[in-house]
Structure 1
Amino acid sequence: MAPGRRGRIIKRTIVIAAAAALSLGMEISGWLVTSITAPGYQPEVSWTALHSMVPLVFLACAGVAWSIGPARAPSRLMVAFAVLWIPLTFFRVVEDIGWLWPLLYGIHLWWGLIAGIIVLVYPRGWFADRTDRWIAGIALVSGLVYFFAVVLLLEAPAADTCACVANVYQIAEVPALYTAIDYGFRGIGALLALVIAGRLLVQWVRGSVPARTVAFLMPVALLAWAVSLAWFAINYAVQTTATTVMGTISLVAIASIPVSFVAGLAHARNMRARVADLMRITREGADRGLWAESLARTLRDASVRVYWWDEEHGRYADAGGEPLDGDPAGRAGEHSLLPVVSPTGIPIALIRHDKVLTDNMRLLDGVSSALRLSVDNGRLRSEIERTLEQVRQSRSRIVEGAEKARRQLERDLHDGAQQHLVSLGMRLRLAANQARDRGVEPLGVELDGTISMLNTALKELRELAHGIHPSLLTSGGLALAVPELAGRCPVPVVVDVQAEGRLPAVVESTAYFVVAEALANVAKHSKATRAWVRAHLDEHGVLELVVRDNGVGGASPSGSGMVGIADRVDAVDGTITIESPPGAGTTITVRVPLAMPG
């Protein structure tokens, strides 16, 4: 963990712990003092516990929102709520401090303002439009008016709240004015809560599927709190006592506000995590139709449309090639557009999505990154495939060129050097016979020695030509060349060649030299008493070679002979399998397609 991040976490923990200690301190001290000084008004332990749980829930949710939220304001507001959640019983603790209790009493209902603002900034972390700002402004102004009314006009709270000393800030004694402001503030608060709840509920009902999934809990929680708040305002106005049931409902509803907020943030975070599903598509590049369908599932937005940039025509078009016409956002503006461009500024695509998703910019950033990665992977894959195809074609040309060069060299040796040596031998034989006819025996013997050396050289030249490219393979194919090759192996070889007709020259040459190298390995290393060579052409146009022996096994694929065989087979796009368990002989299976790549 980075030192800076560790420091921020420690700082946040200290702030939340301090706010929790302050809230619990006010709650517990107020309950203790009330139980001593006014037994008749002592609140029940269960009620006090439930009342004290509300700020703790806000603080716990503040810690979560601080970690996963898009903005810091909601978490700070939740901490402020816990600090301003001042129980009425606490005023008996500070009732003798004339300069303190007026200030606290002036803000002891501000938690309602904070709760309303938290709802207004849900889930994005800031106000969405001018209406939200107006509602927040009215709430703030009414809260300030109430604060100054308490500080400047209230002599003391009701006797059942505390036996507070005189207000040191009071400048006038106008109880009617204060009462009007008090009732007005509470009424405005209840009305604003109902307006916020109703507005959010209507937006939820009328909203699209993405809008409902983002705000799926908050309307219910807020509506329950607004109704209970209105109930309390009416009871306060008519001077009646609210029921315990409504009080409990109110506390539960208030506590559900931050829970709903954090649940919405977690849902949005989960949506961003589902962008990983889009990443799986990027492995194979951007299949445009599949990409749009997957994006719609990820965003839970059936209205999603993806328009791809058509560089040839300089316009956007959908996966079917239809150009983008008209206003893709819609006349009512219910959609937003997300342009996706490459790091170099080249347009890639235009994503039309539900307008509510603009509140989750991290999600949209993830979508943009996934799409860019998908396109880049597609381009890279195409370039790699194009390069591999060029390599295959180049390798095929090299193999064919080498095969032609070997055949040409074998013909040159056979038709050139060998013919000259044969002609020279005949002339030397004629000269030797003439020398003997004339009685020059020593010259005849010398010429016989020269002829013997010439025959040895001719034999070596023929073997060299045979190693470069056997003439029997050229004239008769594998059916003649493989048995002749097996006959020169010191280990008895059973040959089964059923390759009908002539095969491509490159394939025949590859198969021949694979068999030659494999039989050479059998003779040198296997200690076998028998070997088998099988060459068959299957129905798929693939030549299958199998060279097997009953030797000691344990052949290493990394040996020079095996590596040479593998290189030859790979050059013609074939495959090789080596099975060589110790003590059980060696089996080499080679499959070579007749159709060369490229």
Structure 2
Amino acid sequence: MAPGRKGRIIRRTIVIALVVAASLTMEITGFIATPEALRREVSWTTLHTIVPLVFAACAGVAWAIGPSRLPARLMVVFPLVWIPLSFLRVIEHVAWLWPFVYGVHLWWAVLTGILVLLYPRGRLIDGVDRWIAGIALVTSVGYLLGVLLLGQPSPAVCDCTANPYLVADAPGVFAVIDVGYRLIGVLLAIVIAVRLLVRWVRGSVPARTVAFLMPIALIAWVITLATQAAAYASGGADLVLDTVSLVAIASIPVSFVAGIAHARNMRARVADLMRITREGADRGLWAESLARTLRDASVRVYWWDEERARYADASGEPLDDDTPAARRGDHGLLPVSSPTGMPIAVIRHDRVLTDNMRLLDGVSSALRLSVDNGRLRSEIERTLEQVRQSRSRILEAGDEARRRIERDLHDGAQQHLVSLGMRLRLAANQARDRGVEPLGVELDGTIMMLNQALKELRELAHGIHPSLLSSGGLALAVPELAGRCPVPVEIDVQPEGRLPEVVESTAYFVVSEALANVAKHAQATRGWVRAALVDGELELVVRDNGVGGASAEGSGMLGIADRVDAVGGRFRLDSEHGAGTTITVHIPLAGFAH
């Protein structure tokens, strides 16, 4: 936690603790100072004490997650003006103080009304809200002046000393001011409730989702407030209505905090968009997921079309700024661009979401990430395809080079050596016919060396590219290859007809390398080779009953894996100790010409 933030939390905690202590002091001392016969019920007093505590607790939450500091500050001030009338009995002999306390003991209602007007944006929306707040403040100040200049509480409230600020003893005029102030408060509360309710009913789904608790709490409070004002004017009181009123008042800060917490949680739901941005989701799916995340069915995503230089949605419908909703101002537009400033998209959303810029910033980042991921994924896939094609071309070129070398050795060097051998044989025979036996013996030795060199050359040419593979395919080449293996090998080759050259060449060299490993390392007594076409792929299996334990990191296995991967195939090695070794290869036929 940053030092500055830690300090702010400590200061706010101290402030809240002080106002809670002040509120509890007023409640407790007032209850004790009130004669037992005049005390309110303990349950009601307890509930009356809890109300400011709820405001103080919600102030701490609003400070942490609120859209602005003003709502939290109003909630902190509330416990200081939540003054029980019983507290006047504690200060009834302090002549200079009690008129001020009595003059502000209803200001909690003003703070509550302004708090409702601030919901959920944390600020007053329009001029009407400012007028309502202004009227409430002006009448409250007027009431305070009325108390200072004309007020004197009734004996039922306290035995207060004479008001030192009194300019005229006019209890009738003060009664009118007292009742009038309460009636104005009721009318303002009704106006606030009606505005909030109308705004909620006419609002969009996101607006109603954010403001889902406040109308209920406010309506309950207005009803009880109006009833209480009427009862006060007539001199009566009702415990049930008083209790309901306290519960309704306490529910207002809870509703405020719940609403802004809900809006904050909407930002957390943007994380759900990240799951579809990882793959660069389809545009239609992205818009649908965004509408579901924001709980706003009116959300539309218009993507930038470079060819037409305009924004259009996934279906091709262009962005129209002249729709009825746009003319009414019901929607806002959120442009999204790349870090380089290139336009990506425009998100048309409900106007209420404009007040939650952190949410929209998260949406913008998610969309930008989606586009970047899609672009990077396409580039990577394109690069990988180019690499695969390049490797395939290299492999094909290598095979073609081996075939050419084998053909050159067969048609060139081997033919010359065979011709040379025949001429040496003829020379040896002529030497013997002329009685030069030592020369014939020497030529015979030379012929033997030539035959050995010719044999090695044929084996070399066969290793470069076997002629049987070119002429007869795997059906002829694999059995011939297995016949040279010192370990008995059972062959089952079932490809139908000839396969693409690169596939046959890859399969042949896989079998060749695998059988070489069987002969050198497996300590096997038997081997099996099977080749068959399965679902458009050549499936090749080479198995032995040796000691197992072969490593995929060995040079031979790495060579097999690289060669198979170069043609887009799959390689698997199973080699448990004591259970032999099985190499399974799948090579797709699609994409290769015969």
Please indicate, yes or no, whether the TM-score normalized by the shorter chain is above 0.5: yes
Matched, 1:3 2:18: no
SS at match of 2:571: strand
TM-superposed CA distance for 1:409, in Å, is: 1.2
Cα distance in 2 for partners of 1:573, 1:478 equals 20
Query: 1:504-535: CA deviations, max 9, x gaps?
Result: 11111111111111111111111111111111
State the match for 2:208 in structure 1: 212
1:176-203 CA-partner distances (Å, limit 9, x unpaired):
5544433332221111111001111122
Moved more, 145-154 or 251-260: 145-154
Shift of 1:317: 0.9
1:127 paired residue among 118, 124, 127: 124
Q: Secondary structure at the match of 1:546?
A: strand
Distance in structure 1 (CA, Å) of the matches to 2:291 and 2:560: 52
**Alignment partners' CA distance in 1, 2:17 and 2:532:** 81
Which of 287, 291, 297 is 1:292 aligned to? 287
Moved more, 262-271 or 130-139: 262-271
- Give the match for residue 448 of structure 1: 444
Q: What is the CA-CA distance between 1:485 and the residue it aligns to?
A: 0.7
C-alpha distance in 2 between matches for 1:237 and 1:24: 29
Moved more, 8-17 or 254-263: 8-17
Task: Tell me the amino acid that sits aligned with residue 85 of structure 1.
Answer: W
CA displacement at 1:326 relative to structure 2: 4.4
Correspondence for 2:312: 317
Please provide the CA RMSD for this pair. Answer: 1.9
Deviation at 1:252, TM superposition (A): 0.8
Cα separation, partners in 2 of 1:597 and 1:261, compared to 1, 3 Å: farther
State the partner residue of 1:19.
19
Q: CA deviation at 1:172?
A: 5.2
Shift of 1:171: 4.9
Report how many aligned residue pairs link the two structures: 592
Q: Which amino acid aligns with 1:550?
A: N
Q: Match of 1:373, as an amino acid?
A: L
Aligned to 2:501: 505
1:96-144 Cα deviation digits (max 9, x unpaired): 2222222222221111111001100101111111111111111111112
User: In the TM superposition, what is the alpha-carbon distance from 1:436 to its structure 2 partner?
Assistant: 2.9
**Unaligned segments of structure 1, at least 5 residues:** none
Q: Is 1:58 aligned to residue 58 of structure 2?
A: no
Amino acid aligned to 1:450: T
Is 1:47 matched up with 2:44?
yes
Q: CA deviation at 1:469?
A: 0.8
For residue 244 of structure 1, what is the amino acid of its counterpart?
L
Q: Is the CA contact (8 Å cut-off) linking 1:578 and 1:588 kept in structure 2? A: yes
CA distance in 2, matches of 1:450, 1:478: 37
Q: Counterpart in 2 of 1:81?
A: 78
Partners in 1 of 2:392 and 2:579 — Cα distance?
36
Q: Which amino acid aligns with 2:251?
A: S
Deviations 1:418-461 (A, max 9, x none): 22222222222233333333333333333222222222222222
1:551 equivalent in structure 2: 546
Conserved 8 A contact 1:396-1:596: no
User: Following TM superposition, by how much is the alpha carbon of 1:174 offset from its aligned partner in structure 2, in angstroms?
Assistant: 5.1
Q: Describe the superposition over 1:224-276 as per-residue Cα deviations: whole angstroms up to 9, x where unpaired.
A: 111222222223333x1221111111111101101111121222123222222
Distance 2:236 2:82 in 1: 21
- Contact 1:70 1:124 (C-alpha < 8 Å) held by counterparts: yes
Instruction: Find 2:276's aligned residue among 256, 281, 293.
Output: 281
C-alpha distance in structure 1 between counterparts of 2:426 and 2:167, whole Å: 149
Distance in 2 (CA, whole Å) between partners of 1:338 and 1:193 is 36
What SS is found at the alignment partner of 1:553? coil
The one-letter code of the counterpart of 1:566 is: A
Per the alignment, residue 575 of structure 2 pairs with: 580
SS of the residue 1:71 aligns to: coil
Match of 1:304 in 2: 299
CA distance, structure 2, for counterparts of residue 303 and residue 578 of structure 1: 54
Find the aligned partners of 1:12 and 1:443 in 2 and give their Cα distance. Answer: 116
Matches of 1:123 and 1:349 in 2, distance apart?
Answer: 28
Asked if the contact 1:396/1:597 (under 8 Å) is kept, the reply is no
The amino acid of 1:253's aligned partner reads A
- What is the match of residue 234 of structure 1? 230
**1:537·1:543 contact (CA, 8 Å) conserved in 2?**
yes
Read off the aligned partner of 1:457 and give its amino acid letter.
A
In structure 1, the residue corresponding to 2:327 is in which secondary structure? coil
**1:477 offset after TM fit, Å?**
1.0
- Which moved further from structure 2: 227-236 or 376-385? 227-236
The reply on whether 1:514 has 2:534 as its aligned counterpart is no
| 1:221 positional shift | 1.0
Larger CA deviation: 165-174 vs 25-34: 165-174
In the alignment, is the contact (CA less than 8 A) between 1:282 and 1:374 conserved in 2?
yes
Amino acid at match of 2:116: V
Distance (whole Å) between structure 1 residues aligned to residue 116 and residue 143 of structure 2: 22
Counterpart among 345, 360, 375 of residue 341 in structure 2? 345
Name stretches of at least 5 consecutive residues in structure 2 with no aligned partner: none
Question: Which AA in structure 2 matches 1:254?
Answer: I
Aligned counterpart in structure 1 of residue 365 of structure 2, from 360, 364, 369: 369
Q: Deviations over 1:543-597 (max 9, x none)?
A: 1111111112222222222222111111111112222222222221111111247
Listed as ranges, the matches of 1:393-472 within 5 Å are: 393-472=389-468
Q: Does the 8 Å CA contact 2:494/2:532 hold for their aligned counterparts?
A: yes
Tell me which residue corresponds to 2:28.
28
1:573–1:597 CA contact under 8 A, matched in 2: no
Contact between 1:578 and 1:586, CA under 8 Å: does it hold in 2? yes
User: SS of the residue aligned with 2:326?
Assistant: coil
CA–CA distance in structure 2, aligned partners of residues 136 and 448 of structure 1: 124
* 2:480 aligned partner: 484
Moved more, 101-110 or 402-411: 101-110
Q: Report the 3-state secondary structure (helix = DSSP H, G, I; strand = E; otherwise coil) of the residue aligned with 1:308.
A: strand
Structure 2 CA distance for aligned equivalents of residues 101 and 457 of structure 1: 125
TM-score normalized by the length of structure 2:
0.95
Give me the TM-score of the superposition, normalised by structure 1. Answer: 0.95
| 1:173 positional shift | 4.8
Shift of 1:157: 2.2
Runs of 4 or more consecutive aligned structure 1 residues displaced over 6 Å after TM superposition: none
Identity of aligned residues (%): 74
- 1:342-374 per-position Cα deviation (integer Å, ceiling 9, x unaligned): 222222222222222222222222222221111
Give the residue type in structure 2 aligned to 1:518. A
In structure 2, what is the Cα distance between the partners aligned to 1:597 and 1:300? 50
Contact 2:500-2:592 at 8 Å conserved across structures? no
- 364-373 or 309-318, larger mean C-alpha shift: 364-373
User: What letter corresponds to residue 260 of structure 1 in structure 2?
Assistant: S
The 1:537–1:290 alpha-carbon spacing in structure 2 relative to 1, beyond 3 Å, is same
CA contact (8 A) 2:502 2:592 kept: no
For the pair 1:494 / 2:478, whether they are aligned, the reply is no
Deviation at 1:90, TM superposition (A): 0.9
Give the alignment partner of residue 112 of structure 2, picking from 115, 120, 136: 115
